[in-house]
């Protein structure tokens, strides 16, 4: 196979993938544990807690937090397993196809994360303002919270894309290019 200036050769790609896969596997493992801890903490604080001062809004917010954190824990668990099951002794074409899928910028199951984000958003609204229609002040609080929330999501998305461009895009492009070369042979 010829070596392209923009793309890595197969050997350096495999070495880089092994390094990145190990790094991502560790990240997913830590986040999975963190979100499992959040599930139990928030479940205890809002669902099991017998405190009579907890309102229905607090309990509903607790349910939303637990559901949101459960979604994140599930997502990180799924990707931890995916990175843990990578087998570099598979045929080259399969290794490259799997790497191309693993290192894509947007994956269809990333929408799972959106569900978790929406649960956290709902919980935050329930905790901070309760019924938005009770007063005009609550409606303005709702707007401010949503604007801040959308801003944070946008900021997180930009950071995620920049991180992908730095860490994953070179591997993704190289895997695609090597796959194309394999198909042309």
Per-residue pLDDT reduced to its tens digit, 39-58: 999 999 988 888 888 888 88
d(CA 138, CA 63): 22
Q: Tell me: pLDDT of 6 over 70.
A: no
**Any domain includes 1:** no
Give the residue with greater pLDDT, 7 vs 127. 127
185's tokens: 């042979």
d(CA 34, CA 74): 12
d(CA 45, CA 105): 36
Domain that holds residue 164: 10-184
Domain count, the chain: 1
**Any domain includes 3:** no
121's tokens: 């958003």
d(CA 62, CA 64): 5
The pLDDT value given to residue 133: 56
Dihedral in degrees, nearest 10, Cα atoms 39, 45, 50, 52: -140
**Any domain includes 41:** yes
- To the question of pTM greater than 0.85 for the whole model, the response is no
**Any domain includes 4:** no
């Amino acid at each position: 196979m010829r070596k392209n200036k923009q793309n890595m050769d197969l050997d350096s790609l495999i070495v880089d993938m092994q390094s990145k896969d190990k790094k991502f596997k560790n990240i997913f493992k830590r986040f999975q544990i963190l979100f499992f801890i959040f599930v139990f903490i928030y479940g205890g604080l809002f669902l099991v807690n017998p405190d009579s001062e907890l309102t229905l809004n607090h309990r509903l917010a607790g349910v939303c937090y637990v559901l949101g954190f459960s979604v994140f824990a599930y997502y990180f668990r799924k990707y931890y397993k995916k990175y843990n099951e990578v087998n570099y002794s598979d045929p080259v074409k399969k290794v490259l196809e799997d790497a191309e899928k693993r290192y894509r910028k947007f994956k269809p199951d990333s929408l799972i994360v959106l569900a978790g984000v929406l649960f956290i958003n709902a919980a935050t609204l329930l905790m901070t303002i309760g019924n938005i229609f009770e007063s005009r002040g609550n409606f303005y609080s709702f707007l401010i919270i949503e604007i801040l929330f959308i801003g944070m999501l946008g900021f997180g998305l930009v950071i995620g894309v920049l991180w992908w461009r730095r860490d994953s895009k070179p591997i993704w492009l190289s895997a695609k290019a090597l796959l194309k070369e394999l198909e042309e042979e």
